[in-house]
Structure 1
Amino acid sequence: MSSRNSTLIPTRLFLALGWVPALALAQQAQPPVTSLPQITVQGQALSETATGPVQGYSAQRSATATKTDTPLIETAQSVTVVTRDQMVDQGATSIQEALGYAAGVRSDAYGVDSRSDGARVRGTEASTYLDGLRQAYGYYTSTTRTDPFTLERLEVLRGPSAMLYGQGSTGGVVNMVSKRPQEEFQGEAGIQYGSHGRKQAQLDITGPATADGKLLYRLVALKRDADTQVHHVPDDRSLVAPSLTYRPSAATSFTLQALWQEDKSGSTAQFMPWSAIQASPNGTIPTYRFLGEPDYDKYDSTRRSIGWLFEHQFNDNWSFSQGFRRARNEVDYFTHYADFFTDSGNWAVNPLDPSQVGRVQYGNTNKVRIDTLDQHLKGKVQTGIVKHELLLGFDWSNYNRESRSANGYNYINPYEPVYGDYVTPTLTDDARFKQRQTGIYLQDQMKIGQNWIVSAGLRHDRARTVSEGSPGDSDSATTKRFGLMYAADNGWSPYISYSESFTPVAGTPRNQDYVTYKPLRGEQWELGVKHQSRDGRSLFTASVYDLKEKNQLVQSAVDPTTQEQVGKTRTRGLELEWRGSPAANLDLIAHYNYINLDEKLEGIPKHQASAWAKYRFAIADVHGFSAGAGVRWMSKFTDGNAPETASVVLLDGLLAYETNKWRYALNVNNLTDKTYVATCLSRGDCWYGARRNIIASASYKF
């Protein structure tokens, strides 16, 4: 078969299956041959689903690990669900902050970084998905940052996941679940005021658009004007996210989603050399120091996307689902950063003026187009004592990038900066880049008798990567996954699982415009046990894993705006996590990680732990008060020959008062305003962590 035909086949399949939602919706207008039996639902008003709201901190169900609505206690892989209640209580203003208490995650591996929410899961950078569709390719200049206010939940699948996603990293997948239209009318309007001049207004309103409830709507909007802990770096945002659900019958649902987001920011990452954070006659460089140019530096991004989520139930056993999104991202990134690599870890000094040090000037404009599709057929069959839940799926993605860039070099006094001494370099066209991937997968979740659960899956991917002027590369891979679990009647579920990863990488190595990156390949064995309380209000997970990967990306030691690949790496670790409500007025989260990384990877602390508790109480018979406290700890570590990154303990706090309509809260992260270094890298630079951040908020529900 020619390469041309092999490319056309998945495209034709995509076009053909793309008509399924339209055909299913059109069928609703025809007189039905049969009708579904009436179903009477009894129980709590709120019945949890894999994508819906969760009361408290402990979710019971998720679809991220299986693409089916599966109880977490029956999922043979580690999954953390950060609920909306947790994000609200902890005052999370970014995905980075929302993941601060998640097991297996280092959310601030690069300290406070206004450009990206990149999180490291089990030592490697996780792939980011939104509603099961990949959100970003390459590194941070390809998308905007997702705002937690737009999300219902945030889920971390730890370990390889290529069998379902094709493009999931070896470390895991971060899947963000959007807020969706709800059946009952509800609304929330709120304001925030906080550190660094933060002023924010937000709105979330949802409900039925028609009396028969066949049409539901939701509108999420946000406006923010803020600065950051680094001078001359703003954090402004405007966002509108409307969605509309059409349900012509109990068997069919079609949700249209759109997003317009515009951010005006800069780079809080100054790439400070090792010597900048060490004692010297001039002192250390403060955390607020800006080494760039106020009239030049910026990180402005715009994202426009539209897509849909479609579901159709043919009968009690068979259904079809499809998700599609078209996104257009534009990023203008202009920056200066410290020259830490000319003299490995030290300032590059101006030979004509020793008080001035070198800084690299970099300019880049990126225009990215991303189309993603994932669709699958689900079926339930039974063979003897074995109940099968089958999943047959096909996904497709198309990524295109056009960029222009420029480089320069100049000097500044980092202790007494005087701005304006720079020349604007001329942008030149970079090689255009394209990547297309198709994948087909089959999964079988088997329940044998009452207690045994077996999951198995197989997938085949084809990827085509082209950098302008080059013949392009084609890659293909077959990946698999297997899991075995015994779900005991007492709530304990021991399991063992094996999974693999295959991830084509968007982009080209430094100064190699016509050579593309090699795909990442990985595999993992995981052994664990889960326990869920009888009332479902708490979930405990313990796991150990052995994870191997080759061709992993790390930031270049020569040019921090690019990445390079390393050979084989190995990571082993232990993770413990508990989430739940041990008492009616108490919510609690706790986790501990131990990780033993290959020396080729960037430094990650071997030990991490965190705990967060929220207690509700009354004062003088007035109910609605709550107080929360959290602690985050990481051990000291060293990356290669870099200076040791000291251990650190950070405290967070919450005070809140809530009625049926109003909620007032005061959140403080890094309560003691501890100045700390998040990491020092062997290539020569260090990154400061986030200083104290105080946010006062008020919201009204209607």
Structure 2
Amino acid sequence: MPTHHLARLPRTAIAQAAFLVACSACAQAQTAAPAAAEATLAPVTVQSGAERENPTAPVSGFVAKRGLSATKTDTPLLETPQAISVVTRDQMEAQGVQTLRQVTAYTAGAVSNYFDSRVDSFSARGATVSQYQDGLLRTYGTYNSSRPDPYTLERVEFLRGPTSVLYGQGSVGGVLNLTSKRPQAETAREVQVQVGSHARKQIAADLTGALDANGQWLYRLVAVGRDSGTQVNHVDDDRVVLAPSLTWRPSADTSLTLQGLHQKDKSGSLIGFFPWQGTQLPNQYGQIPRSTFISEPGWDAFDTENSSWGYLFSHRLNDSWTVRQNLRRTVTEVDYRTIYTSFTANAATGRPARPVFNSDNRTVVRDAVWNLNTGRMLLIDTQLEGKLNAGATQHTLLAGLDVQRNHSGQSAWRAVAPSIDVYNPVYGNFTAPSASALVRQPGVAQRQLGFYAQDQITWGRFTATLGLRHDSAKTDTEGRPAAAVDDKAWTKRAGVTYQMDGGWAPYVGYSESFQPLGGLDVYGTPYKPTRGKQWEAGVKWQPPGQGISAFVAAYQLRETNRKTNDPANPLNSLQIGEVKVNGLDAELTASLASHWDLTLAYGYTDAKIARSNAGDQGLPVASVPKQTGSAWLSHRFATEGRGGWTVGVGVRHTGSQWSGSSAISTPSATLADALLAYDAGDWRVAFNVTNLADKVHITQCLARGDCFYGQGRTYALTSTYRF
């Protein structure tokens, strides 16, 4: 990280500290106000009965009814004027998820097109989905971080549509917020052993409880160790994770949780970037096997090391005001070595700049790449929350200041590698480069400062949510002052819900987003950020006293300033591109008293290019399935408690996708999953199967010339002992 970047960090801390002091002063002034003013504060009501659900703590079953991601406050999902899904720990366990992309497999409108060892990527509503963890950005840069392990997560919240008013820069797709497992006051310990397909062997442990008799100190330790192969020959999926956390609660008003994570992964190239022929289109030698590895054994790698530390702090200043601050520092190192089907043109042979077979229809030319990637992130989010009464209305006020300091670096080497037979690969004709061949690339530093304010107003059965934010996002490329970008933007959100009898809540909402692109066109003009606007209307349903949560949401959104081709210069891009999306998301999640758990989800996305110079105006947006759907049903055969057999089955459907070319499209695919488990006291044994029929399916074909395979049948036998 450059020295000038580090020099700014103390000022970040000073700014955050000043904001904390200002928050405290504001709250203290409110406390010291005259008695007449104090009379307007909301009364404190003590309720008997079951304890209210905590949006960061464990939830029994599939249904959560409160969340943090949509408002950054503890808010019932019924009062959120935007479609949001929560995947609980119990749902992840029942469906046997092994990767983050599997977590959202039964969530409406979420699409993950790549079965990839490098990243878990998602899209929704025609655009990418940003990933956050505990309310802070999880990654910055490309292929310079580890994939999260679902075993370390308590829940995952998926907020659809533009979310910049709370999170700053991001696309119109939405936010996937991961909630880490945190220390709990009640002692709970488990050890888990798992074996499965591709010689998978994993051991994991999750231990939590109080360290002292008064419960002021709580701990949690989550650990994972794995040795595994994959469906692609010579590619491992090995992992070691250690995630300790410690909570100090000196009083009911104050909480400080320290979090740490160290993760090391060893994997390789699951994706070969195979040509259309031999994957989706026919080839005289048949379809390329999913297990084909065309890189070089012993050299190919995607090895990551990720270390992070941070804290979650909360202090209630008085009955009305609470101040919070979350901080995380992350350092990642990635050794990425791969050889894949070439995109390099050869004028002498007439080879195009896309993946194709050689004339023998068996061999392909390959590109070889070696990158050493680094990532450095410092994230701080400080919030002041107040609860006040004003006449017949109740207000939950939120003011926030968040800061990001991110840096990505890379050393790179690239070359054309010898051809290989994809139907009978023979290795050893590739000469690996030495470290001296790596060339250091300019580092990229990004700084963001955001101020946001929100008011959640309750009046009778109405709840209105109003939000406003201002961001300043600066990006500097080392040694390239002309490429410096300084973007500023205001974003807004407004919505209202109405709670009816029977747990019904219709709503309507408006939200915005902005996302800096960075870089310059050939005329030296910086690219403007893309901007998104969305209108959404829907209805939510949570019948009182029942474990059911459902919603239907219709939306219309527009994203502007997308890059399109410059007809006067093929090496340039203009910013007149515009995408319009109309769609509908519907989802039902239930955990019923008769031991049935189920999810139903459907997504309809009509994403069209509204303005463009590329001759594609009016065509669908590439790689966006128009329809997706899923259903999961499981039943526990027990009269009480967790004992007995559990049987479950799920079906997932992804519709066909426009590739961006009339020459090929991505076909639809329907896959099935299954569960068989037995609980006996402290023991649980579960057998999960993904892609039960072992269907060979293509997840995506691109106009640039390549297609990608999805995950074949995998199984896992998991034995868990709780004590």
The alignment's TM-score, normalised by the length of structure 1, stands at 0.90
- Correspondence list, 1:75-90, <5 A: 75-90=80-95
Partners of 2:253 and 2:468 lie apart in 1 by 29
Contact 1:127 1:167 in 2 (8 A): no
Aligned to 1:397: 404
1:587 pairs with 2:593: no
Contact 2:595 2:638 in 1 (8 A): no
Aligned to 1:302: 305
Aligned to 1:34: none
The residue type paired with residue 648 of structure 2 is G
The residue type paired with residue 305 of structure 1 is S
My pick for the range that moved more, 452-461 or 483-492, is 483-492
Aligned to 2:367: 360
Secondary structure of 1:430's counterpart equals: strand
2:510 to 493, 498, 501: 498
Secondary structure of 1:168's counterpart equals: coil
Secondary structure of 1:196's counterpart equals: coil
**Identical positions, percent:** 43
The residue type paired with residue 231 of structure 2 is Q
Aligned to 1:559: none
Contact 2:452 2:470 in 1 (8 A): yes
Instruction: Give aligned pairs, total.
Output: 667
1:572 pairs with 2:582: yes
Can you give the 5+ residue segments of structure 1 that lack an aligned partner in the other structure? 24-36, 555-562
Task: Give the 3 Å change call, closer, same or farther, for CA 423–517 of structure 1 in structure 2.
Answer: farther
CA deviation map 1:36-76 (0-9, x unaligned): x99976423x6411111111111000010000000001111
1:424 pairs with 2:424: no
The residue type paired with residue 583 of structure 2 is G
1:651 to 672, 696, 704: 672
Deviation at 1:419, TM superposition (A): 1.0
Partners of 2:373 and 2:667 lie apart in 1 by 37
Partners of 2:680 and 2:575 lie apart in 1 by 53
Partners of 1:222 and 1:72 lie apart in 2 by 32
Aligned to 1:606: 626
Deviation at 1:482, TM superposition (A): 0.3
Contact 1:244 1:256 in 2 (8 A): yes
Partners of 1:161 and 1:216 lie apart in 2 by 33
CA deviation map 1:556-596 (0-9, x unaligned): xxxxxxx9998221221111100112442101100111111
- Correspondence list, 1:504-515, <5 A: 504-505=516-517
CA deviation map 1:415-435 (0-9, x unaligned): 111112223342101011100
Can you give the 5+ residue segments of structure 2 that lack an aligned partner in the other structure? 1-6, 26-42, 346-350, 565-572, 609-618
Deviation at 1:623, TM superposition (A): 4.7
Secondary structure of 2:666's counterpart equals: coil
Secondary structure of 1:113's counterpart equals: coil
1:199 pairs with 2:201: yes
Partners of 1:165 and 1:393 lie apart in 2 by 10
CA deviation map 1:525-558 (0-9, x unaligned): 111111111114101100111111135589xxxx
1:462 pairs with 2:472: yes
CA deviation map 1:152-172 (0-9, x unaligned): 000100000000000232110
Contact 2:643 2:681 in 1 (8 A): no
Task: Give the 3 Å change call, closer, same or farther, for CA 474–604 of structure 1 in structure 2.
Answer: same
Aligned to 1:98: 103
Contact 1:271 1:340 in 2 (8 A): no
2:703 to 658, 662, 682: 682
Partners of 1:549 and 1:508 lie apart in 2 by 19
Partners of 1:89 and 1:395 lie apart in 2 by 36
Partners of 1:10 and 1:699 lie apart in 2 by 44
Deviation at 1:6, TM superposition (A): 12
Aligned to 2:266: 264
Task: Give the 3 Å change call, closer, same or farther, for CA 622–134 of structure 1 in structure 2.
Answer: closer
Partners of 2:717 and 2:563 lie apart in 1 by 39
- Correspondence list, 1:113-512, <5 A: 113-139=116-142, 141-277=143-279, 278-339=281-342, 342=345, 347-348=355-356, 355-410=362-417, 411-425=419-433, 426-449=437-460, 451-471=461-481, 472-505=484-517
1:632 to 638, 652, 662: 652
Deviation at 1:350, TM superposition (A): 5.3
Contact 1:344 1:684 in 2 (8 A): no
Secondary structure of 1:650's counterpart equals: strand
Contact 2:285 2:362 in 1 (8 A): no
Task: Give the 3 Å change call, closer, same or farther, for CA 184–473 of structure 1 in structure 2.
Answer: same
Partners of 1:600 and 1:406 lie apart in 2 by 36
Deviation at 1:132, TM superposition (A): 0.1
- RMSD of Structure 2 on Structure 1 (CA): 2.8
- Correspondence list, 1:42-81, <5 A: 42-44=48-50, 47-81=52-86
Task: Give the 3 Å change call, closer, same or farther, for CA 73–49 of structure 1 in structure 2.
Answer: same
Aligned to 1:32: none
The residue type paired with residue 216 of structure 2 is K
CA deviation map 1:141-186 (0-9, x unaligned): 1210000000000010000000000023211000000000000111
Partners of 1:53 and 1:21 lie apart in 2 by 30
The residue type paired with residue 99 of structure 1 is T
Secondary structure of 1:149's counterpart equals: helix
My pick for the range that moved more, 419-428 or 257-266, is 419-428
Partners of 2:289 and 2:696 lie apart in 1 by 9
Secondary structure of 1:400's counterpart equals: strand
My pick for the range that moved more, 399-408 or 82-91, is 399-408
Aligned to 1:615: 635
Deviation at 1:7, TM superposition (A): 11
Contact 1:267 1:335 in 2 (8 A): yes
The residue type paired with residue 284 of structure 2 is P
Contact 1:273 1:345 in 2 (8 A): no
Task: Give the 3 Å change call, closer, same or farther, for CA 675–693 of structure 1 in structure 2.
Answer: same
Partners of 1:623 and 1:448 lie apart in 2 by 45
My pick for the range that moved more, 564-573 or 399-408, is 564-573
Partners of 2:402 and 2:541 lie apart in 1 by 34
Deviation at 1:269, TM superposition (A): 1.2
1:694 pairs with 2:694: no
Deviation at 1:500, TM superposition (A): 0.5
Partners of 1:189 and 1:494 lie apart in 2 by 44
The residue type paired with residue 695 of structure 2 is K
Secondary structure of 1:163's counterpart equals: helix
CA deviation map 1:187-217 (0-9, x unaligned): 0100100001100000000000111110000
Secondary structure of 2:378's counterpart equals: strand
The residue type paired with residue 423 of structure 1 is T
Partners of 2:17 and 2:68 lie apart in 1 by 26
Partners of 1:201 and 1:6 lie apart in 2 by 42
The residue type paired with residue 366 of structure 1 is N
Aligned to 1:671: 692
Deviation at 1:508, TM superposition (A): 5.7
The residue type paired with residue 283 of structure 2 is S
Partners of 1:423 and 1:572 lie apart in 2 by 51
Deviation at 1:121, TM superposition (A): 1.7
The residue type paired with residue 303 of structure 2 is D
Partners of 1:600 and 1:566 lie apart in 2 by 17
Task: Give the 3 Å change call, closer, same or farther, for CA 236–565 of structure 1 in structure 2.
Answer: farther
Partners of 1:307 and 1:272 lie apart in 2 by 41
Partners of 1:637 and 1:357 lie apart in 2 by 26
The residue type paired with residue 405 of structure 2 is N
Contact 1:373 1:397 in 2 (8 A): yes
Partners of 1:485 and 1:653 lie apart in 2 by 38
The residue type paired with residue 444 of structure 1 is D
Partners of 2:563 and 2:595 lie apart in 1 by 45
CA deviation map 1:250-280 (0-9, x unaligned): 1000000000000000121111110121322
